[in-house]
A and B are shown apart, each in its own frame.
Chain A
Amino acid sequence: MKNKEKITLKKFDELNKEELYRILQMRAEIFIKEQQAPYLDPDNKDQIAWHLFIRNRKGKIVGYSRIFGPGGYFSGSTCIGRVSVDKSYRNQGLGYVLMQKSIDFLRQNYPEYPVEISAQTYLIKFYQSLGFVQISNQYLEDGLPHVRMKLYFNDENRN
């Protein structure tokens, strides 16, 4: 991945307006328009989340993930969500890099907590390749099939 140096991780308060706007725009493009799901994407949880994003050479944000500390989204776990890559930048491994960086951040800061995600079912294999295991049956979230998955950093917190 050539764009490694252009990965940024910020708290909500550290974002500038242009970054926030582009992040919400890209999430709308992908999760509302492309996936045809009219849900409330600005869910008022962004203010307590970390925002990880990748810029292209021109500076445009083309990859994103939202990261929560323990209890921020799921109780007893950290969480990664809204993982998104701009349509014209897919199939280049960007999603994998986003996830690796997000996991690295959580491993460094909250190694004692598992990472929990609500994964769209068509991506189960992708998340398995990152070490996640499925811990629920399929359910609908915003009209789309999901499963709950978990990643444990060590065997001790697997209970």
Chain B
Amino acid sequence: MMKIEIKNWEALSLYEVYDILRLRGEVFVVGQQCTCVDPDGKDPSAFHLMMHDGEKLIGYARLFPPGIYLKDASSLGRVALLKDYRNRGLGKEIMKQSINFFKENYPGIPLIISAQSYLEKFYRNLGFKTVSEAYLEENMPHVRMKLNL
């Protein structure tokens, strides 16, 4: 059974910050061969959803309240799952918990994400609707998707 918790920056420990940046490095930098600066400076104003298997951080999402990443919408990104834990519905679980967080804390405000195009169907199954053409972000095709809460 995986344990999920959501913390703001203040509540994170030094070790949690490290584990988060390592997990994101494994998934986005190494896994997707992206030479991007993952620690983009926005983490102190985000909430951090962490999924642990025992002591090990295996899943993650970064949650932005309205007005932080997007002006009139909540947002989330950096949805990450370690390779060994994929195809077991854990990504969906991370998304469901994230959506619940926004529903409870910021009801009535839409959730808008910049989704990697290959995951469009995954997000559509969670209720998101595509609201843009495909565009490149960090050299990878993305679409903007929206969920009304």
Seen from chain A, the residues whose Cβ lies within 8 Å of a Cβ on chain B are: 12-13, 15-18, 20-21, 24-25, 28-29, 32-33, 36-42, 44, 46-47
Contacts and interface: CB of A to CB of B under 8 A. Distances in A.
From DSSP, what is the main secondary structure of chain B's interface residues?
helix
Contacts of B17: 17, 20-21
Q: DSSP class of A's interface residues: helix, strand, loop or mixed?
A: helix
B43 A39 contact: no
Contacts of B105: none
Nearest to B9: A17
A38 B9 contact: no
Contacts of B34: 38
Contacts of A24: 18, 21, 39
Nearest to A32: B35
Nearest to B13: A17
Given A40-B25, A46-B18, A28 B30 contact: no
Nearest to A29: B37
A40 B39 CA distance: 13
B18 A28 contact: no
With most chain A CB atoms within 10 A of its CB, the pick from B34, B35, B44 is: B35
A38 B35 contact: yes
B33 A28 contact: no
B120 interface: no
Interface of B: 9, 12, 14-15, 17-18, 21-22, 25-26, 29-30, 32-41, 43-44
> Lowest 8 CB-CB distances: which A-B pairs, in order?
A42-B22, A25-B39, A28-B37, A38-B33, A36-B35, A38-B29, A40-B25, A17-B17
Given A15-B14, A16-B14, A38-B30, A25 B37 contact: yes
Contacts of B21: 21, 24, 42
Contacts of B26: 40
Contacts of B44: 18, 21
A28 B14 contact: no
Given A20-B18, A21-B44, A38-B33, 18 more contacts: A17-B9, A17-B17, A20-B14, A20-B17, A25-B37, A28-B36, A36-B35, A37-B35, A38-B32, A38-B35, A39-B29, A40-B22, A40-B25, A40-B26, A42-B22, A42-B25, A44-B22, A47-B15
